[in-house]
Structures are given as C-alpha cells and as structure tokens.
Amino acid sequence: MTHTITSIREALRAKRFSAVEVTREALDFAERENPKTNAYLMLCPERALAAAAEVDRRLAAGEEAGALAGVPIAVKDVILTKGVRTTCASKMLENYIPPYDATAVERIEAAGGVIIGKTNCDEFAMGSSNENSYFGPVRNPAALDRVPGGSSGGSAAVVAQGTAVVSLGSDTGGSIRQPASFCGVVGVTPTYGRVSRYGLVAFASSLDHIGPFARNVKDSATLLGVMAGHDPMDSTSAAASVPDYAAHLDQNDVRGMKIGLPVEYMKHATGETADRIYEAIDKLRAMGCDVRDVSLPNTDYAIATYYVICTAEASSNLARYDGVRYGYRSADPGDADSNKLFAMYRNTRGESFGAEVKRRIMLGTYVLSHGYYDAYYLKAQKIRALIARDFTNAFQSVDALVAPVSPFPAFRLGEKVNDPVSMYLSDIYTITGSLAGIPCMSVPCGTDSGLPVGLQILCNHFEEQKMFRLAHAFETS
C-alpha cells in the first residue's frame, strides 16, 4: 500500500473506494507480506471491518468521519485493545485479553481510524533490536537479514513495508526513533505527558511515551494531534493545549531558525552515518537555518543513568506478574518440602519472562535494594536532573537540536544479541531526550551502505509544532 492519510481522505471524498474496501486491501496485504518480516503478532479483521463500515455509514449520512477516516493503523502490542489479545510479546501475557482500550486507541477510533492489527516488539518493550520477542524476531523490510530496531520494531516495519499507513509505538529510551531510523520512516516521541499513557503496559513509568510512525511528517503530525491532550485517567498527562500540528506545515519558513549541534553527540559519529548527518546539516544551512555548536556536558552519564532508572522502574512495575491475578501460571508445584507460594512465584516468573526482562528486573531490584538505593537510584535521579538542565540551557540559545539517531544503521540479526552492553550503546543518542522528557523525532536523511539513516530533531517541552515545522521543511526541500 502506498496510501497516506491525505490520499485516503481525498479518495473517500471522491468515492473512488470505500473505507471497507481499503481496509480489506490492507488486511489482505498484511496477511500476504507478514511472513517476510513477522511484524504483526495478530490481525483483527472483525474489529477493523466494523470500524470501516461505521466510517462508510458516517460518510453516506453526510456526517464528519474524523481526521483518520478509513486509515488502516497498526498498534504495538504493549498498548491495550479491548477484546483483542495484548501480549507484550511475552509468554507471561500470551493469552491476555484486555477489558478496555487505551486512551490513544479510543481517540484514534473516534477519529475514524481503523485498527487492523497488533505489532511485534521486544518483550515488555525491553530491547533495541526486536530480537527479544517470545514470538520470534522482526526482520527489517529494508534488508531482511537486519534488525528493524527496538523495541517498536514491528510498528516501524509495517509502515516501511506498506501493510499499514501509520502505526503506534512506545518509546522509553529511543524505541520509536531508533526503529524509525533503521526502517527509513518517520517516528515521533512527543513530550512526556503529551499523550496519555492510560492503557500502555508499564515498563518505566517516568520514561514511557506513546507516539506515531508514518511515511511522512504530515501523517505523523496528524496522528499525534488526534492522540494528544489531557486525559483524566492519567495523572501524568499534561493539560497543555494541543495545536493543529498538520494544519500549517506548508506555510512555515525555517529561514533564521537557530539549530544546535551537540558536540558531545558528534564526537562519537563516524563513517557513512556521520556523513549523512553532516549532509543533512549542510542542507539545513542551505535552507537558511543558523547552525551552531552547543554543549550538553552531562551526556556521557546518560547510558548509566538511564539503565539505573529504567531497570528500577521495570522491577517495580513487573512485580505484579505473579501468576495469581492474570497471565501465565506455572504448573510446576515445586518440591515436596518447598514453600508452595514461593515456588509458584519463582516458577511462574522463571518460565514466562525472557532473558532480557529477567536481566533488567535483577538490575532494577539490585539498585533499589537496601544499602544501594542512595548509591545508584538516588544518584541517577540527580544526574537525570542535570541532563534535563543541559537541554534547558541549550534551548535558551537555539530553537531546536539536530543529531544522529544511532551511531550505525541496522545491524544483522544475532550480531549483538549476546553482548548486552553493545546493544545498550546503540541508544546513546536517544536516551538523553527521553531522560529530559522533551519531544524528539527521526526523519529519513539518506543511507549508509544502502541501509536507512535517520536525522534526530529535538525541541523544548511542548514545542512539537516547531519540531514538525523543521522536519517537514527538511523532508520537502
């Protein structure tokens, strides 16, 4: 499929096809193509066709069908969908069927969007390659021997493959931007609190975001505009007003915009990926932007800080999976002399969590334990505040920052799976923005050895409009 949100809207208005017809096309194409990538964990044709039929009914009655009318949309399988399995790509939730929809899903369907399926991801969104899924890895449509990035690799892959027009992912430390870069699509991580987390299965609650993937900036802006806004069901959602992100993209001139280039990021950038980033910077200069160096002095502490905070929060959040209330329960009762309750907990969690999830639970439990909390977790929170202050200071002199998304393009399946530290370092450019809670996005900017490369754009809190303005100008120039 090569449809965009705009092309579907125009075709429905001109009656070239119906919402049901485009939905059937999307479902059929996804079913045919999915064996290549393993990007979908499940399709939901009944729900999709019912939603499409409602769009057609509204249009026939002359009613407003919504900004996403008839658009086939995929949803990462850590976002709840009522009556449709949400597994988090884990054995733990292999058969879990949620009793309610996430707020983001509700708002999409209210705007006429058609949810066609749930996408594969790293288990509980923990990973940078999408190789940690209980249901097998996702393969990158740009090169099937390569990873699509993680943890939202399935959501990036379905958009790159064309089996969905847009999709939803989640981002904790780069899980939207890095897959977008690896797959050659647009991926947006909004300001923390801009999109409700109600119905997003928690990994690290102070870092988790929901955001869109699309094949162009305008579609990503449209989808974010539908989802964004305060939600009384999420106490961390922001009450800030939501502008119409997509309305004025074509009317904004970026001449004179001040763009910061973080020197701490660029000192690690080498090879063709760095060449593409510098070419993108030259393009921004040619567009009339004022590009200048800026410093984010606490960047070198970001990886360690992130992996203390996110694992601590993961350890706390995943304690609820105990085999008692929902999810997998081990059939192994333990030894005759064992504590039966403890044996049930141990066997349930041991059998149903994958290696990476166990690793992060153990790391998080350690840094929260007595005698280590102050040395690790509390210190990490203090450094997080310093990293956020670096961005605050930078945005006093520039309108936006640009940087690489990843030090390298998509790596081969299996290349880093046995080297967790190397895998963690693939997020070196994305983690800082996540720790600061600012809006960031990846926009395609060329290739490295034939593989997609993304340019990262970062702006101050709630300045998504400015971020989209720069991204759209770069994309269309």
pLDDT tens track for 12-27: 999 999 999 999 999 9
Q: How many whole angstroms separate alpha carbon 169 and alpha carbon 155?
A: 6
Q: Is residue 152 part of a domain?
A: yes
Low-confidence ranges of the chain (pLDDT < 50): none
Q: Angle 326-331-334 (CA atoms, 0-180°, nearest 5)?
A: 115
pLDDT tens digits along 112-134: 999 999 999 999 999 999 999 99
Q: Is residue 357 part of a domain?
A: no
Q: How many whole angstroms separate alpha carbon 52 and alpha carbon 113?
A: 8
pLDDT tens digits along 330-386: 998 777 667 888 899 999 999 999 999 999 999 999 999 988 999 999 999 999 999
In this prediction, residue 251 carries a pLDDT of 72
Contacts of 310 by beta carbon, 8 Å cutoff, 6+ apart: 172, 173, 203, 204, 207, 360, 364
Q: How many whole angstroms separate alpha carbon 85 and alpha carbon 106?
A: 16
- Rounded to 10 degrees, what is the CA torsion of 27, 29, 30, 36? 160
In the residue annotation, 128 being an active-site residue is answered as no
Residue tagged 């309108």 (tokens): 399
In this prediction, residue 335 carries a pLDDT of 74
Active-site residue (options: 18, 76, 167, 218): 76
Classify the phi-psi angles of 204: left when phi > 0, otherwise alpha if psi is within -120 to 50, otherwise beta: beta
- Output the pTM of the full model: 0.96
Q: Is residue 34 part of a domain?
A: yes
Active-site residue (options: 128, 175, 196, 315): 175
In this prediction, residue 250 carries a pLDDT of 79
* 41, 77 Cβ separation under 8 angstroms: yes
Which residues, in sequence order, are bridge partners of residue 448?
451
In this prediction, residue 21 carries a pLDDT of 98
* 182, 147 Cβ separation under 8 angstroms: yes
In this prediction, residue 422 carries a pLDDT of 84
Active-site residue (options: 128, 129, 151, 315): 151
> In b/e form, how buried is each residue of 367-396, taking b as 16+ CB within 10 angstroms?
bbeeeeeeebbebbeebbeebbebbeebbe
Output the six-digit token pair for 426: 């693939």
Q: How many whole angstroms separate alpha carbon 29 and alpha carbon 48?
A: 14
* 29, 40 Cβ separation under 8 angstroms: no
Mean of the per-residue pLDDT values for the chain? 96
Q: Is residue 227 part of a domain?
A: yes
In this prediction, residue 337 carries a pLDDT of 66
Q: Is residue 307 part of a domain?
A: no
Q: Is residue 411 part of a domain?
A: no
What is the domain-level CATH number for residue 25? 3.90.1300.10
In the residue annotation, 315 being an active-site residue is answered as no
Q: The sheet that has 166-171: what strands, in order across it?
A: 40-43, 114-119, 72-76, 166-171, 209-214, 186-189, 440-448, 451-458, 400-404, 258-262, 290-294
* 183, 150 Cβ separation under 8 angstroms: no
Q: Is residue 423 part of a domain?
A: no
Q: Give the number of domains in the chain.
A: 1
Q: Is residue 415 part of a domain?
A: no
In the residue annotation, 352 being an active-site residue is answered as no
Tell me which residue range forms the domain holding 44: 5-249
